[in-house]
Amino acid sequence: MDQKKKETPSERQRRLLKEGVHPWQLHRERQVLGIPTALRGTLSIPAEITDPKVEPVYIPVNRKQFIEEQFLIRAKEEQGNMGYVVPFKLNKVQSRYYEVMEKGYNNFEGVREIILKARQQGFSSFILALFAVDFITKPNSVSVCISYRSDETKRLFRRVHFYIESYCEKNGFNIHDYLSVDTKDELENATNGSYFYIGTAGAKVGGRGATVTNLHFSEAAFFEDTEKITAKEIIEATSQQVPQEHGMIFIESTGSTYGTYYQGEWERAKNNESNFRPRFFAWSEFYSKEWIEKKKRDFSSEEEFKSHYPADEAEAFIYSGRPFFDRTTLDELRKKVIDPIQQGRLAADGNFI
């Protein structure tokens, strides 16, 4: 007698979903039986699997391992296969930054980072991948990304959606069952109540409800002040939705002109006057000298090139925008600056206070 063909996990999932089993039950069972212990983000034991009333409990995950084993990404030109879908393996800048944060924060709690960097080093992709991990593994988490331009907002949202798609495909989930909300700017995880929202600076900002877990301001130096809201109000007001010493907040950008809110916050962080830790990443930390020399040929002037690919943090600001004085002269003078003998306020008698 022929034995009945054994049902595969994916076939079993589809059958149970048709029978009315809640996706949460299947997701938890999959996490217990199908995903390595190091990647599990929810506490599930066999007795709980069949009870949809049991609330998920968060257990910290190895985020780097989760990203590299569960997510796919569209490759960039520097990787030699532009347009191809590849496993998300952290590049050298992303890996180094991950190590810095892993050492600097306890399980990525209370992260407050302001990042100044050269173009296309992968920070937005990396930060959004961290948020996607929480979306999958951290029950009821709320992650928000605010971008500077509507077309960029759409691009970043597609990237997050692709992370979730690749995770679902790898683990045999139907994404339409996995997501209870799937619109042009919102996602909600049907299995654990987590939420992701993306918006454009100057338009609607903030997440659902009063509390946000993770917050990413992408290209914050280019947030424009409008009649409705300023860059300062966008960043400061939205940041207050993340509980102090909890969650993650990233203010990330390439350089800008002096006098912007972002530039001021960068200086405050450098002077240890804010809760944010400043991180600068020059072009040399990601690109080769040969690559950068070739990239220069895409720009009509040295000044324009340096605004996108600064060698140091001062270049990032001085070469952005259109200052009245000659940029090259300003740069040469900056290199010759010496520390003042004394600093302070001058009293009426000519002495420093």
Longest Cα separation, the chain: 108
Percent of the chain with pLDDT over 90: 46
Q: Structure tokens of 144?
A: 């928000």
Average pLDDT score, the chain: 80
Percent of the chain with pLDDT over 70: 74
Tell me: domain 63-287, CATH 2.40.240.10, correct? no
* DSSP-assigned beta bridge partners for residue 192: none
Using a CB cutoff of 8 Å and minimum separation of 24, what contacts does 313-316 make? 313/116, 313/255, 313/266, 313/280, 315/255, 316/116, 316/254, 316/255, 316/256, 316/280
**Greater model confidence, 107 or 350:** 107
pTM > 0.75: yes or no? yes
For residue 102, give the nearest of 88, 87, 113 by alpha carbon: 113
For residue 131, give the nearest of 218, 215, 240 by alpha carbon: 215
**Greater model confidence, 231 or 352:** 231
Q: What is the pLDDT of residue 303?
A: 75
The answer to whether 308 and 298 are in contact (CB under 8 A) is no
Binned at pLDDT 50, 70 and 90, residue 141 comes out as very high
**Greater model confidence, 336 or 48:** 336
Q: What is the pLDDT of residue 39?
A: 45
* CA 226/CA 204 separation, integer angstroms: 13
The answer to whether 178 and 171 are in contact (CB under 8 A) is no
- Count the neighbouring beta carbons within 10 Å of the beta carbon of residue 180: 14
How much is the average pLDDT of 273-301?
A: 93
CA distances from 43 to 59, 182, 192 (A): 6, 26, 12
* CA 263/CA 271 separation, integer angstroms: 12
* CA 308/CA 338 separation, integer angstroms: 27
Binned at pLDDT 50, 70 and 90, residue 229 comes out as confident
Residue 286 pLDDT greater than 60, yes or no: yes
Q: What is the pLDDT of residue 42?
A: 39
Binned at pLDDT 50, 70 and 90, residue 36 comes out as very low
Q: What is the pLDDT of residue 269?
A: 95
Ranking 81-90, 196-205, 324-333 by mean pLDDT, the lowest is: 324-333
Q: In a 10 Å sphere around its CB, with 0-12 CB exposed, 13-18 middle and 19+ buried, how is residue 117 labelled?
A: buried
The answer to whether 183 and 109 are in contact (CB under 8 A) is no
CA distances from 178 to 13, 36, 136, 230 (A): 12, 20, 10, 37
Which range, 41-55, 171-185, 203-217, is most confident? 171-185
Q: What is the pLDDT of residue 127?
A: 97
How much is the average pLDDT of 243-255?
A: 93
